[in-house]
Amino acid sequence: MGFRSSMMVAAALAAAVSFGAVAAPMSGNPILPGWYADPEAAVFGKTYWIFPTSSRPYAEQTAFDAFSSPDLVQWTRHPGVLKIEAVSWAKEALWAPSVVEKDGQYYFFFSANDIKNDSEVGGIGVAVADRPEGPYRDLLGKPLIGSFHNGAQPIDQFVFKDDDGTWYMLYGGWKHANIVRLKDDFTGIVPLSDGTLYKEITPAPEYVEGSLMFKRGGRYYYMWSEGGWGEPDYSVAYAIADAPTGPFKRIGRILQQDPAVATSAGHHSLIHAPDDDSWYIVYHRRPLGRTGRNERATAIDRMEFDAQGHILPVKMTHEGVPAHPLP
């Protein structure tokens, strides 16, 4: 090998080493080990959190694990942060967490018992703890919402705090969605500004479940899941309105199956990094070659907007996202 060739090889190796030294580690997808679905993502202090459903046969979904990370790459499991034994009225499965912090305490909203009518006990509950990792204890000794209103099954709740300090909860299965205003101590609901307790905000005929809301640029974004959660066409769509109560009109899907990556992509949550306006979508999907309804894995990818504020289609990846330590 001549001197020139040797120098070229050395330069290439140096560049590779240099590149390796600065390249941020990636999270990889799935981001959590094992079968987990319906992930709720949050930022508490300098730590990222994911609270997922344990994706198991229905009767075995009796506890929630949580996962924490300083950077979106390294995750620590906290097993059994809320167990069915801590909820006196919950006799069947627990699923679909929504977790918020208020006045130094952490409130864990969940779905339980999958009720089919108002004569059954179950619905949406709330538990409380002094730390994100629990242990959580039942706050009310009964469901927060335990009956049907406007045709909405009381499941898949999402809790949203508006800029004025008002707390709302969006929820609903069976193709209907409601919004309610929560009491400041989360022990019940109070009338909305128009006097209604349960306001239907179903955004489109395609709506199925998995409500989520966030605010950006003074507008309210409402996101939800469409299709069947056990089917390949499970997906996420969204709408925008000028008020949290709508009216909302469906804009389109932003997350759906990719034959080269995974199917059944839905029931998501979001992380908004406070330091640089990065947005991440955390969701579950079914790996290629898997067909079992409970074979669902949690993944994370970037979510971006165009100049008009519309959400761009999310590209599912195997690589995930780079490390993003919180300031």
Q: How far does Cα 163 stand from its chain's mean position?
A: 20
38 an active-site residue? yes
Q: How far apart (Å, rounded) are the C-alpha atoms in residues 49 and 84?
A: 21
Residues 227-266, buried b or exposed e (16+ Cβ, 10 A)?
bebeebebbbbbbbbeebbbebebbebbbbbeeebbbbbb
- Annotate 253-292 with DSSP letters as a single string: EEE--BTTTEEEEEEEEEEE-TTT--EEEEEEEEETT---
Rg of the chain over all Cα atoms, to the nearest angstrom = 21
Residues 133, 209, 226, 301: which is the catalytic one? 209
Note if 164 is an active site residue. Answer: no
Write down the catalytic residue from 38, 40, 65, 133. 38
* CB neighbour class for 148 (10 Å; exposed up to 12, middle 13-18, buried from 19): buried
Q: Which two tokens stand for residue 69?
A: 């990370």
65 neighbors 54 (Cβ within 8 angstroms):
yes
Best CA proximity match to 213, nearest among 276, 141, 250, 159:
159
Query: DSSP character for 14?
Result: H
CB atoms within 10 A of CB 56: 17
- Under 8 Å between Cβ of 316 and 285: yes
Half-sphere exposure of 315 (CA within 13 A, CB side): 7
Question: Among candidates 47, 93, 53, which has minimal Cα distance to 72?
Answer: 47
Residues annotated as part of the active site: 38, 209
